């Protein structure tokens, strides 16, 4: 998605960013359009590390349990255990 279209993410309950390296997150956080997003302003986002991002992208019967075991707690923490 081009950065100019990031505003479509304002309606999201929570954002999951597939950041594989710390530098990916830093580059994203440097974008003014990113900082203007409502979920970002409200702290409703989850950043993956390289291992979790790879498991999400690989999307196999072996990687999905790994993703669920790590992503659900991160989402629950981000949403304050309330859910969307």
| Within a domain: 15 | yes
> Does 84 map to a domain?
no
Tens of pLDDT, residues 25-71: 999 999 998 999 999 999 999 999 999 999 999 989 999 999 999 99
In a domain? residue 34: yes
Q: What is the CATH number of the domain that holds 44?
A: 3.40.50.1980
Residue 21 falls within a domain, yes or no?
Answer: yes
Question: How many domains would you assign to the chain?
Answer: 1
Helix H segments across 13-81?
Answer: 22-29, 32-35, 38-41, 50-58, 63-78
Residue 72 domain flag: yes
| 39 neighbors 33 (Cβ within 8 angstroms) | no
Query: What pLDDT score does 81 carry?
Result: 59
pTM of the model: 0.82
pLDDT bucket at 7, cuts 50 / 70 / 90: confident
The domain in which residue 13 lies consists of: 3-78
- What are 17's strand-pairing partners? 47
Residue 22 within any structural domain of the chain:
yes
């Amino acid at each position: 998605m081009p950065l100019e279209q990031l505003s479509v993410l304002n309606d999201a309950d929570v954002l999951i960013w597939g950041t594989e390296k710390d530098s990916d997150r830093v580059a994203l956080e440097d974008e003014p359009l990113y900082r203007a997003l409502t979920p970002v302003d409200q702290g409703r986002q989850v950043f993956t590390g390289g291992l979790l991002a790879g498991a999400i992208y690989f999307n196999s019967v072996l990687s999905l349990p790994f993703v669920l075991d790590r992503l659900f707690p991160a989402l629950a923490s981000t949403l304050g255990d309330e859910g969307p």
